[in-house]
Structure 1
Amino acid sequence: MTDDPTTLKIGLPKGSLQDPTVDLFRRAGYVIEVSSRNYYPRIDDPALSCVMFRSQEMSRYVEDGVIDLGICGHDWVVENGSDVHEVCELKYSRATTRPAQWVLAVPEESEVSTPEQLAGGIVATELTGTVRRYFEEKGIELRKIEFSWGATEVKARLIDAIVDITETGSSLVANKLRVIDTILTSTTRLIANQQTWADPAKRARIEDLALLLQGAIAARGRVGLKLNVPREKLEAVLGLLPAAKSPTVNELADPAWVAIEIIVERRTERELVPRLHRAGATDVFSYPLQSVI
């Protein structure tokens, strides 16, 4: 990492979010080179320097000013009680764009159906501080909150309950666990050190970066469509297009034809294109998007 005070030091998450984060930056226009033996990735922007941290510890280093900004889950900001500025939400992950949830779960065969029934019991979790506050706020006294080093689902039948993170719920189903409450909902965030955020010049650069990252996320799941349409069939074709935003309509050299360009959701493309073709559109082609801002 550089010691240049004008360089923004950014923490990138190591672990399951590492590859999706590198890909997100690529789609936002940055090239990051990560070595398996080096915690300091190279980025093709001299105004940025990178270091890898686990998401669990990212907010602490941002709060302390070791780095200016970082990417981590909101859950770890809450767990660490970190005083940082949450710049924006970045809805991406390794599995789904849906928020992750920390859930209180018991085996399917358990007689427990409410958190209150766990009084005097043992709960295992990686999120010990948040879970402790959850039970304290409910006035439920546990015998112990056990820190879990992983494979938390396996421990549900050895103790009374677990609190674990889930995105799809598939692991809970596979381990025959039943959710009795949701403790925390979390998405990935871009966070900044409070002093860094208070600096107008650095804040502007962080906002620019946030804009590009959010634009790359917005482009995921969308495609651009271009098509030519006889002017006499323009109204019919326009009637098939999504009504949320007006498409771009350009004149062609032949006054009897126009060109249309629009951005649509990828999942609607397969239904829309055949309908456009039947309505008279020709030369229809789609292209991937890097960013939508």
Structure 2
Amino acid sequence: MNEKLKLGIPKGSLESATIALFKRSGWNINVNGRSYFPEINDDAIDCAICRAQEMSIYVENETLDAALTGKDWIAENSSDVHVITDLVYSKVSSRPAKWVIAVAYDSPVKNIEDLEGKKISTELVKYTKKYFKERNINVTVEFSWGATEAKIVSGLADAIVEVTETGSTIKAHGLRIIHEMMQTNTQLIANHKAWENKFKREKIEQIALLLKGALLAEKLVGLKMNVPKERLEKIVSLLPSLNAPTVSSLYQSTWFSVETVAHVNIIRDLIPELLKNGAEGIIEYPLNKVI
């Protein structure tokens, strides 16, 4: 096969989570040591590992056909790319991350207007400058190479703009969040030329479909149980499902096999309720993909 899709995988904090997501979707990505070009079990794809901060630039200039990167870095780079789909996943939780403004816990600053004339440290420089300019708040924004939280403690900045999922790290550094600037999540993107190419577009759509299916499956489990005929209607009324539970009769019996899919958050309450109402032999099993 001559034509291949050049796919970017984010390096850094999302690298392991992304490779694990692809594995659940059917692709094994093997990163060999320091190589920036990992192997993948798909002859139609060539992979490259790049920093998420730069990924949208490489997609826009057609170095890469498609990639996964943060919505925040697309905004930071003002990249003209085609967003295929949102993919909410991370190394910590299944919630979107957010960029917040934080100050020292004992700072007199209560809101962003109080930052007039102050110095802000962040890695998200361009977006932060634009954000404050649109609100007519004059601030000095400086780039941070890392350890951004420490800039306030050391007196190098009055506030920081930092990404967080739970806010726990910011609080642990003695800081206080005063404002949320934006929510961000991983996005699958492509350049316009690749999207207009029939082969590459179909491959990108395949990746999007299976990645979303794997993410949805993380939140769901399968349930299977045996139910006596006289309790069937009650059990079915208790069960959630994508459409309706699957019900089939057991061989030469007045019992039925009932199968459904349910959200993981309700299982601990649902299973005892099913037992109480006559279900037996309940099996819970994980799902790889839900399409």
What TM-score, normalized to structure 2? 0.95
Q: Secondary structure at the match of 2:201?
A: helix
The amino acid of 1:151's aligned partner reads A
Question: 1:149 maps to which residue?
Answer: 145
| CA apart distance, 1:215 | 0.2
| CA apart distance, 1:93 | 0.3
| CA apart distance, 1:204 | 2.0
Question: 1:45 maps to which residue?
Answer: 42
The amino acid of 1:155's aligned partner reads K
The answer to whether structure 1 residue 161 and structure 2 residue 159 are counterparts is yes
Matches of 2:276 and 2:135, distance apart in 1: 61
| CA apart distance, 1:207 | 1.1
In structure 2, which of residues 202, 205, 230 is the aligned counterpart of residue 207 of structure 1?
205
Tell me the alpha carbon deviations over residues 223-275 of structure 1, each in whole angstroms, 9 at most, x when there is no partner: 10111111121012112212663111112212412111101112222221222
The amino acid of 1:89's aligned partner reads D
Q: Structure 1 residues 121-130 or 199-208, which shifts more?
A: 199-208
The amino acid of 2:283's aligned partner reads F
- Judged with a 3 Å threshold, the aligned counterparts in structure 2 of structure 1 residues 21 and 243 are, in CA distance, closer, same or farther, namely closer
Tell me the alpha carbon deviations over residues 96-144 of structure 1, each in whole angstroms, 9 at most, x when there is no partner: 11111111111111111122222222110000000010111111222x2
The answer to whether structure 1 residue 56 and structure 2 residue 49 are counterparts is no
Question: 1:254 maps to which residue?
Answer: 252
The answer to whether structure 1 residue 265 and structure 2 residue 268 are counterparts is no
The answer to whether structure 1 residue 236 and structure 2 residue 240 are counterparts is no
Question: 2:185 maps to which residue?
Answer: 187
| CA apart distance, 1:278 | 2.3
Question: 1:28 maps to which residue?
Answer: 25
State the superposition RMSD in angstroms: 1.4
Tell me the alpha carbon deviations over residues 171-193 of structure 1, each in whole angstroms, 9 at most, x when there is no partner: 11111212222112101100111
- Counterparts in 2 of 1:84-103, with a 5 A limit? 84-103=81-100
The amino acid of 2:100's aligned partner reads V
Question: 1:289 maps to which residue?
Answer: 287
In 1, are the aligned partners of 2:57 and 2:79 still within 8 Å (CA)?
yes
Matches of 1:274 and 1:185, distance apart in 2: 37
Kindly tell me the number of residue pairs found equivalent between the two proteins.
289
In structure 1, which of residues 64, 70, 74 is the aligned counterpart of residue 71 of structure 2?
74
| CA apart distance, 1:5 | 5.5
- Judged with a 3 Å threshold, the aligned counterparts in structure 2 of structure 1 residues 69 and 43 are, in CA distance, closer, same or farther, namely same
Question: 1:65 maps to which residue?
Answer: 62
Gaps of 5+ in 2: none
Tell me the alpha carbon deviations over residues 204-235 of structure 1, each in whole angstroms, 9 at most, x when there is no partner: 22111100000000000321011111112101
- Judged with a 3 Å threshold, the aligned counterparts in structure 2 of structure 1 residues 62 and 118 are, in CA distance, closer, same or farther, namely same
Percentage of matched positions with identical amino acids = 45
- Judged with a 3 Å threshold, the aligned counterparts in structure 2 of structure 1 residues 130 and 228 are, in CA distance, closer, same or farther, namely same
What TM-score, normalized to structure 1? 0.95
Matches of 2:18 and 2:252, distance apart in 1: 46
Matches of 1:80 and 1:126, distance apart in 2: 12
Gaps of 5+ in 1: none
Question: 1:196 maps to which residue?
Answer: 194
